[in-house]
Structure 1
């Protein structure tokens, strides 16, 4: 089988970027631009490698009339940030928890879970009268 030789001279070939401008229907240029921008951001933030693939399928239709059907796709593989690891303990009931269930507790010491719970608990402001005076303070004075 002989290899096909393209008869178009190199000087007569349109740049690939011109092809993007012709593809208004599939919005390939905008899709590729967004994917490239997302990939640059993810790679510079994580220090890892990303990959961008532009796939173009061309199918001749209608015999020798020169009509072709194009199908395009943009795929991007973004690097994922490194997730931190958490040390946990298995309970006798096969659940996981942050504290060692076999370790004795000391009175007055709080576990990380208890400390976090207290930090997220809403506190109420002191009640004030119409003048903005703290009622609890006023009742203590009188």
Structure 2
């Protein structure tokens, strides 16, 4: 029996193997980054020749389901016009100064 890897290497001069290898590397990096599972599917479709006989037509499809990074939640505040802000627009902002810039009082 001839190994499937031989057929895959001969299919379009190895393009399916090259594509599957590239997608697998991308998948591995995404799994490492997200700590989530991913998937690589190699689908081989075989069709008989129209007139019968030993001739077959192959098509290969390489698909991957790469896990995506979840973005963490963020807190925003809404105003009366429906806009979002990082700080609460209904709350007065506090201004801070550098303590070194303050002059010591005479009573201290």
TM bin, normalised by shorter chain, reads 0.7 to 0.9
1:21 aligns with 2:2: no
51, 59, 63: which one pairs with 1:63?
51
Matched residue count = 97
4+ runs deviating over 6 angstroms: none
Residue 74 of structure 1: CA displacement? 0.6
d(CA) in 1 for partners of 2:5, 2:14: 15
Structure 1, unmatched stretches of 5+, are: 1-12, 110-142
1:95 aligns with 2:86: no
Q: Which structure has the higher relative contact order (CA within 8 Å, separation 6+)?
A: 2
Contact 1:90-1:96 at 8 Å conserved across structures: yes
Larger Cα-atom Rg: 1
8, 12, 18: which one pairs with 1:30?
18
Structure 2, unmatched stretches of 5+, are: 98-108
Aligned to 2:100: none
Q: CA RMSD in A?
A: 1.7
